[in-house]
Amino acid sequence: MTSNDWKVFVIDLVDGLCHLHSKGIIHTDIKSDNILLSNKRGYIIDLGKACRVNEAPKPKKYKTQYSHVAPEVLNGRRYYSKESDIFKLAESCLKWPYICPFTFLR
């Protein structure tokens, strides 16, 4: 995957998240397991926990530290939000080269 391919991949993910948010939907479960790379394009998958922004559940208080969960959600201080989706997408994108190094051999 070249640096231009990487940019397209990330832009696809950001566009997908922007589309969900523009429809008033938050994903609430963005993590590397829910990001798909296919033909050098990026897709956000598994909308099973997605909900409307105004119907976002208050998160449970986590006993384990999960790096893909926004800090305010992890501590149970805030409902899921567009901001927590953005945090989780950015963190997932930063970790992707380490999770799937075979895609970055070029």
Euclidean distance between CA atoms 14 and 72, whole angstroms:
21
Active site residue 29: yes
Which residue(s) pair with 26 in the sheet? 51
Give Cα separations from 60 to 11, 37, 72, 74, 89 (angstroms): 31, 30, 11, 8, 20
Question: Which among 5, 29, 46, 85 is annotated as catalytic?
Answer: 29
Euclidean distance between CA atoms 105 and 62, whole angstroms:
36
- Catalytically active residues are 29
